[in-house]
Amino acid sequence: MKKYSLFCNMCGREIKTEKGVVQEGVLSVEQNWGYFSEKDGEQHSFDLCECCYDRLVRQFKLPITVKRQTELL
pLDDT value of residue 54? 98
Task: Give residue limits of the domains in the chain.
Answer: 6-57
Dump pLDDT digits (tens) for 13-71.
999 999 889 999 999 999 999 999 999 999 999 999 999 999 999 999 999 999 998 88
pLDDT value of residue 69? 87
Strand partners, 6: 15
